[in-house]
C-alpha cells in the first residue's frame, strides 16, 4: 500500500507510533505498508483517523489526498445541506486565513458546481 507509507512520512509519523496506536507490532504495520498483509476494515478506519486521510485515497479510489474533514464536507454538500448550516459547521481557509461568511458562500457555490460535473 504505497500511499499509506507516503502519507505517513508526509505527516511525520513513525511506523512505531502508528503501530502502537493500532496495538500491533511494528513489523505487522510494516507489512501493511508493503502490501504483504491485508488491512481489515476496522484497522483501516483507525489508520485513516490517526493520519486524518480518507480511505478512498489510501485504497486508490481517488487521487486527491482528502482529509476526513474534507470528506465530511463533500458528503454534506452532496446531501443538499443548507449553506448556512455548512457555514456554521465548517471553517474553510483561503491561504492561511479563515474565509469570511461571504467568501464561504462563494466557495460553497463553487464546490457545488464542481460536484455537479
Quick one: pLDDT at residue 37?
A: 95
Rounded CA-CA distance 49/64 in Å is: 17
Using alpha carbons only, what angle is made at residue 61 by residues 112 and 54, rounded to the nearest 5 degrees? 70
Quick one: pLDDT at residue 76?
A: 94
Domain ranges of the chain: 2-58, 68-116
pLDDT single digits (tens) 62-116: 888 888 888 899 999 999 999 999 999 998 888 889 999 999 999 999 999 888 8
Quick one: pLDDT at residue 65?
A: 87
CATH architecture of the domain 2-58 equals: Orthogonal Bundle (1.10)
- Give the pLDDT band (50/70/90) at residue 117: low
Q: Could you tell me the sign of the dihedral formed by the alpha carbons of 92, 97, 103, 106, in that order?
A: negative
Amino acid at each position: 500500500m504505497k500511499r499509506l507509507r507516503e502519507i505517513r512520512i508526509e505527516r511525520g509519523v513513525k511506523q512505531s507510533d502508528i503501530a502502537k496506536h493500532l496495538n500491533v507490532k511494528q513489523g505487522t504495520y510494516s507489512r501493511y505498508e508493503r502490501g504483504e498483509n491485508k488491512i481489515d476494515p476496522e484497522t483501516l478506519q483507525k489508520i485513516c483517523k490517526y493520519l486524518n486521510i480518507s480511505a478512498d485515497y489510501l485504497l486508490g479510489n481517488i487521487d486527491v489526498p482528502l482529509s476526513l474533514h474534507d470528506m465530511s464536507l463533500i458528503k454534506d454538500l452532496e446531501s443538499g445541506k443548507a449553506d448556512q448550516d455548512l457555514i456554521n459547521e465548517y471553517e474553510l481557509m483561503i491561504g492561511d486565513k479563515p474565509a469570511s461568511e461571504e467568501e464561504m458562500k462563494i466557495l460553497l457555490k463553487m464546490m457545488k458546481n464542481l460536484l455537479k460535473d
